[in-house]
Amino acid sequence: MLTIDSLTVRLGHRVVIDALSAGFEPGRIELVLGHNGAGKSTLLRAIAGLLRPSGGGVLLDGVDIARRTPSDVARAGVVLVPQGRGIFADLTVAENIRLGMWNTRRLKRGTAQEERARLDEARELFPVLGQLWNTRAGSLSGGQQQQVAIARAFLANPRVLLLDEPSVGLSPKLAELVLSTVASLRRDDRTIVLVEQNVHQALAVADTVAIMRAGVMERHGLAPADIARQDLTTVF
Ligand SMILES: Nc1ncnc2c1ncn2[C@@H]1O[C@H](COP(=O)(O)OP(=O)(O)OP(=O)(O)O)[C@@H](O)[C@H]1O
């Protein structure tokens, strides 16, 4: 269970996350919606340890990880797939994905045999990537590059997977493919927090919805079907 407890993050002189509290449960895809500038990316970056909060806590199963280094947070099992993919264009798909393995090994989260099994699992979950294994990642389509970024995060076997707009810039068809891949990563002991602007497609894979506005979590625990029925301009 990931609990955000009265978290405050300042960027420059601005309070971007304002005493925000929320709970994200394992076994679910928790979708976070909100206007541009509501603070969604900042929240994910703070959870991942990339920003130091000025108040409050980020609790993973009751343990506060808010002021740990990003590598300590990763070691605790929290992995962020940032907006804009962040893959290495000059490396092949296999090399990019093995960076996730390298992390796994470095973080001592599995034996070599377990890691081989996870690599096979990744090729099964992302069949397109299996076919492009030795292709330069920079030459892939946007959707394929996004799959490489998600596959790499998957290999770290995260307890908490934070996804910042994984479908941004993709055609509706590719966005659907990426979001269905996200759905296939759902596991009983894994919390997935998904930030998306592609609201209708994200609602189709989400289990719960939270609405962020101006640095606070205005509502949470909403049913995706209820949100899908509403006029989105009235939702956030
Ligand atoms: N380094 C910074 N210094 C000051 N303000 C910043 C900084 N980075 C971001 N902000 C501001 O913080 C606010 C929240 O930004 P953030 O990127 O978290 O929003 P968001 O909800 O993810 O938006 P979007 O949907 O557009 O990605 C914005 O108003 C932004 O301008």
Ligand 1 geometric centre to CA of 189 (Å) = 30
Q: Are 132 and 186 in contact (CB under 8 A)?
A: no
Ligand 1 geometric centre to CA of 2 (Å) = 22
Ligand 1 geometric centre to CA of 42 (Å) = 6
Helix (H, G, I), strand (E, B) or coil at 61: coil
* Mutate-to-test residue for ligand 1 from 40, 51, 236, highest number of ligand atoms within 8 A of CB: 40
As a whole number of angstroms, the longest Cα–Cα distance in the chain is: 51
What confidence tens digit (pLDDT) does each residue in 158-177 have? 999 999 999 888 888 888 88
* Angle ∠(144,95,120) on CA atoms, nearest 5: 75
CA 219/CA 48 separation, integer angstroms:
22
Ligand 1 geometric centre to CA of 46 (Å) = 12
Token pair listed for 39: 């603070």
Ligand 1 geometric centre to CA of 15 (Å) = 10
Query: Which pLDDT does position 102 carry in this prediction?
Result: 62
Q: For ligand 1, what atom is nearest to the CA of residue 42?
A: 18
CA-closest residue to ligand 1 atom 28: 37
Binding pocket residue ranges, ligand 1, CB within 6 Å: 11-12, 14, 16, 34, 36-42
Average pLDDT, the chain: 89
What confidence tens digit (pLDDT) does each residue in 88-124 have? 899 999 888 888 776 554 445 567 777 778 788 888 8
pLDDT band at 53 (very low <50, low <70, confident <90, very high): very high
* ipTM (interface predicted TM): 0.95
pLDDT band at 24 (very low <50, low <70, confident <90, very high): very high
Ligand 1 geometric centre to CA of 132 (Å) = 35
Model's pTM, two decimal places?
A: 0.91
Span between the terminal Cα atoms of the chain, in Å: 26
Count Cβ neighbours within 10 Å for each residue of 76-106 and write b for 16 or more, e otherwise: bbbbbbbbebebeeebbbbbbbbbbbebbee
Q: Are 26 and 190 in contact (CB under 8 A)?
A: yes
Query: Which pLDDT does position 231 carry in this prediction?
Result: 79
Collect all residues with Cβ–Cβ distance below 8 Å to 23 and sequence separation of at least 6: 1, 2, 3, 4, 220
Ligand 1 geometric centre to CA of 37 (Å) = 5
CA-closest residue to ligand 1 atom 3: 11
Q: For ligand 1, what atom is nearest to the CA of residue 212?
A: 21
Query: Which pLDDT does position 105 carry in this prediction?
Result: 46
Taking residues 205-221, report their average pLDDT: 95
Model confidence at 70: pLDDT above 60: yes
Query: Which pLDDT does position 106 carry in this prediction?
Result: 47
CA-closest residue to ligand 1 atom 26: 36
What confidence tens digit (pLDDT) does each residue in 26-51 have? 999 999 999 999 999 999 999 999 99
